[in-house]
């Protein structure tokens, strides 16, 4: 049995989505963000030293980091069809998109979140932060296929990873400038597996 340490309104939602797609048996250990600080509750530190979600436990094995979790679930729980042939160019593109969301994309997202709280003191930084955020969103928009997949012709683990950055882009008000990302999110949210995950995971932003 897989346990997902799931924080509401977080990256963890995409792990639940993938588990539903794979038809895997799992349970949720649920954590709620603090209503004032939006931080995870201290109990999450008992599961993960940094107190971050997602984290999964599978037969005593703990796996942290969304990218590692999603790759692990595909490899160990019947998601081979969600990973491209390892001897293909798609595999290399897939590796890139698996990393992009948590590495490159999240730098301007976090800077905007934290610097934005400094008010006037952050004014010299904000043009660069906004330019970088817009550039990263435009990069994703330009690289998602007409078929609304990041790699190849079907759903892959990279689409699961990119679902959260795409949702963030919409939440940051970039829906008009990134219409394909908007359709990508719409297509994900229309999937029965995503809806089951949403029901099990609890309220998720405005979706």
Ligand X SMILES: N[C@@H](CCC(=O)N[C@@H](CS)C(=O)NCC(=O)O)C(=O)O
Least distance from C-beta 102 to ligand X, angstroms?
4
Task: Name which position in 6, 14, 52, 94 contacts ligand X (CB under 6 A).
Answer: 52
Least distance from C-beta 73 to ligand X, angstroms?
13
Least distance from C-beta 13 to ligand X, angstroms?
9
Nearer to ligand X, 15 or 144 (CB): 15
Least distance from C-beta 15 to ligand X, angstroms?
9
Give the strands of the sheet with 26-31, arranged side by side: 26-31, 2-7, 55-58, 61-64
Cis omega (within 30 of 0) on the bond before 157?
Answer: no
Does position 201 bind ligand X by CB under 6 A?
Answer: no
Q: What is the per-residue DSSP string for 68-103?
A: HHHHHHHHHTT-GGGS--SSSHHHHHHHHHHHHIII
Footprint of ligand X on 101-130 (CB under 6 A) = 102
Does position 94 bind ligand X by CB under 6 A?
Answer: no
Beta-strand relationship, 2-7 and 26-31: parallel
Place of tokens 């998602």: 144
d(CA 137, CA 142): 9
Beta-strand relationship, 55-58 and 26-31: unpaired
Nearer to ligand X, 141 or 167 (CB): 167
Residue 29 has phi, psi (to 5 degrees) of -100, 110
Task: Name which position in 5, 11, 14, 136 contacts ligand X (CB under 6 A).
Answer: 11
Least distance from C-beta 200 to ligand X, angstroms?
17
Does position 54 bind ligand X by CB under 6 A?
Answer: yes
Q: Which residues of the chain form contacts with ligand X (CB under 6 A)?
A: 7, 10-11, 39-40, 51-54, 65-66, 102
């Amino acid at each position: 049995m897989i346990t997902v340490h799931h924080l509401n309104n977080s990256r963890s939602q995409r792990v639940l989505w993938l588990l539903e797609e794979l038809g895997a048996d799992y349970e949720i250990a649920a954590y709620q963000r603090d209503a004032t600080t939006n931080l995870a509750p201290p109990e999450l530190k008992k599961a993960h030293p940094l107190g971050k979600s997602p984290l999964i436990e599978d037969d005593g094995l703990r796996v942290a980091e969304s990218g590692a979790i999603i790759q692990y679930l595909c490899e160990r729980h019947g998601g081979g069809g969600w990973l491209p042939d390892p001897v293909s160019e798609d595999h290399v593109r897939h590796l890139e998109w698996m990393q992009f969301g948590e590495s490159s994309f999240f730098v301007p997202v976090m800077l905007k979140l934290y610097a934005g709280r400094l008010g006037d003191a952050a004014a010299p930084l904000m043009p660069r932060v906004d330019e970088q955020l817009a550039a990263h969103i435009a990069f994703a928009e330009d690289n998602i296929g007409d078929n609304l997949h990041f790699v190849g012709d079907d759903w892959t683990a990279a689409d699961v990873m990119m679902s959260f950055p795409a949702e963030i882009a919409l939440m940051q008000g970039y829906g008009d400038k990134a219409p394909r990302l908007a359709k990508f999110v719409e297509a994900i949210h229309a999937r029965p597996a995503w809806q089951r995950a949403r029901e099990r995971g609890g309220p998720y932003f405005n979706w």
